[in-house]
């Protein structure tokens, strides 16, 4: 077991990803170290957004990995296994819910977001020296104040509170399982499972792609991690995160 061989706990930090970065700098964090905090003063979301989390109510953590076996051009596979692990974790707690991965790494239950992932890779030459994997899962929070469009928590769906330490251990276990598959080189089955877990896969939905509204279906994810879609006019699209917006 690599992930969680060293767990550093804090009551409050700016952001667990920033703490992880500092601790890497001071050689206090190494392969498998997990930074866990009850609260973040400036939790970071994707694309410069803020990650809202009420003190002590949710899982806020960063995992430090040294995936030196993975070439930088293959780094999107890390995103896939972490997304699959967090989705599998939510499914373990909420077995009857429809849990999906909204590309690239939002974890959804139906049309609501229950968890987010923010990965910062530190690349030196041709090696991923460190990967800082930030994970936020909404566990017991009932009221969300920020303008994030559609948050939901495990407690809202299960009508009960969950013990944060207990669910943390389940998440660690699930992350280790998926990281093990990657280290064993099971890339094809990871890719297959990721595609099978994608929110809106293969069904026509509205999107905004570079300022144009289109109806399209997701057909896959490219080698470089871009989302591939086919429009209802049979046009093909390949988008990075900034180029596409999922519309309701």
**Number of alpha carbons in the 13 Å side-chain half-sphere of residue 23:** 27
| Whether 225 contacts 195, CB under 8 Å | no
| Burial of 187 from C-beta contacts in 10 A (0-12 / 13-18 / 19+) | middle
Measured distance CA(33)–CA(91) in Å, rounded: 25
Token pair, residue 12, equals 């409050």
User: In whole angstroms, how close is the CB of 106 to ligand BTN at the nearest point?
Assistant: 5
- CA-angle at 132, arms to 92 and 65, nearest 5°: 80
Question: What minimum distance in Å lies between the beta carbon of 153 and ligand BTN?
Answer: 14
Q: Which is nearer to ligand BTN, 42 or 235 (CB)?
A: 42
Q: What is the nearest approach in angstroms of ligand BTN to the Cβ of residue 115?
A: 8
**Residue 202 Cβ, how far from ligand BTN at the closest point, in Å?**
23
Residue nearest to ligand BTN (CB): 116
**Residue among 65 and 214 whose Cβ is closer to ligand BTN:** 65
Interacting residue ranges for ligand BTN, rule: CB under 6 A: 15-17, 40, 43-46, 49, 51, 60-62, 106, 116-118, 134-136
Nearer to ligand BTN, 13 or 214 (CB): 13
Min dist. Cβ of residue 79 to ligand BTN (A): 11
Q: Which is nearer to ligand BTN, 60 or 157 (CB)?
A: 60
Residue 40 or 57 with smaller CB distance to ligand BTN: 40
């Amino acid at each position: 077991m690599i992930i969680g061989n060293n767990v550093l706990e804090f009551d409050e930090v700016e952001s667990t990803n920033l703490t992880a970065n500092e601790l890497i700098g001071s050689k206090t964090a190494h392969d498998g170290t997990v930074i866990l905090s009850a609260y973040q003063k400036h939790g970071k979301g994707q694309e410069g957004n803020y990650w809202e989390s009420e003190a002590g109510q949710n899982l806020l953590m960063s995992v430090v990995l040294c995936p030196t076996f993975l070439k930088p051009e293959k780094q999107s596979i890390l995103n896939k296994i972490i997304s699959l692990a967090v989705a599998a974790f939510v499914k373990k707690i909420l077995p009857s819910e429809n849990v999906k991965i909204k590309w690239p790494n939002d974890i959804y239950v139906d049309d609501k977001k229950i968890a987010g992932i923010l990965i910062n890779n530190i690349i030196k030459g041709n090696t991923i020296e460190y990967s800082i994997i930030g994970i936020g899962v909404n566990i017991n929070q009932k009221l969300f104040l920020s303008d994030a469009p559609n948050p939901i928590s495990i407690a809202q769906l299960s009508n009960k509170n969950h013990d944060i330490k207990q669910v943390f251990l389940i998440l660690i276990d699930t992350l280790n399982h998926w990281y093990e598959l990657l280290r064993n080189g099971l890339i094809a089955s990871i890719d297959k499972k990721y595609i099978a877990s994608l929110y809106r896969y293969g069904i026509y939905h509205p999107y905004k792609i570079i300022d144009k509204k289109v109806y399209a279906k997701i057909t896959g994810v490219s080698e470089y991690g871009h989302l591939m879609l086919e429009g209802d006019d049979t046009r093909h699209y390949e988008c990075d995160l900034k180029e596409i917006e999922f519309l309701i």
